[in-house]
Homo-oligomer: A and B are copies of this chain.
Amino acid sequence: AGVRGALVGGVDASSNVGISHALGIDPKGTHAHSMVQAFGALGAGEIGAFRAYAEIYPDDCLLLVDTVNTLESGIPNAITVFEELRAKGHRPVGIRLDSGDLAHLALQAALAMNWAGFTDTTIVLSNQLDEMVIWQILSQIRTEAPKLGLEPTDVVNRLVFGVGTALITSQGAPALDGVYKLTAVKDGTEWKPAIKISETPGKTINPGTKNIWRLYDKREKATCDVLAMEDERLDQAAEIHLHHPVDFQIQRTLHREDLSRIERLNIDLPQSGPASPLADTLDTMRSRREHDLACLDDGVKRLVNPHLYHISLTRSLWDLKQKLVRERCKGAGK
Contact = CB atoms under 8 A, between A and B. Distances in A.
Interface of A: 32-34, 36-38, 40-42, 45, 47, 67-69, 72-73, 76, 99-100, 128, 165-166, 169-171, 174-175, 177, 180-182, 184-185, 187, 192-200, 203, 328-329, 331-334
Contact of A41 (B41, B184, B199): B184
Contacts of A203: 99
A333 B72 contact: yes
Interface centre among A32, A68, A171, A181 (most CB of B within 10 A): A68
A154 B197 CA distance: 31
Given A193-B41, A194-B40, A174 B171 contact: yes
B187 A33 contact: no
Contact of A196 (B37, B199, B200): B37
16 contacts: A33-B182, A34-B181, A36-B196, A37-B195, A41-B182, A41-B192, A47-B334, A68-B328, A68-B329, A69-B197, A72-B333, A99-B199, A99-B200, A128-B177, A169-B175, A170-B174
A67 B197 CA distance: 6
A199 B333 contact: no
Copies held by the complex: 2
Contact of A174 (B69, B174, B184, B332): B174
Contacts of A165: 175, 177
A69 B166 CA distance: 41
Given A100-B199, A165-B177, A171-B174, A194 B333 contact: no
A73 B332 contact: yes
A34 B199 contact: no
B67 A196 contact: yes
A150 B238 CA distance: 62
Contacts of A76: 333
Given A72-B332, A73-B332, A333-B73, A42 B199 contact: no
A332 to B, nearest CB: 4
A43 to B, nearest CB: 9
A128 B179 CA distance: 12
A48 to B, nearest CB: 11
A272 B334 CA distance: 61
Contacts of A182: 32-34, 37-38, 41
Contacts of A329: 68-69
B333 A38 contact: no
Contact of A195 (B40, B42, B73, B100): B40
Nearest to A187: B42
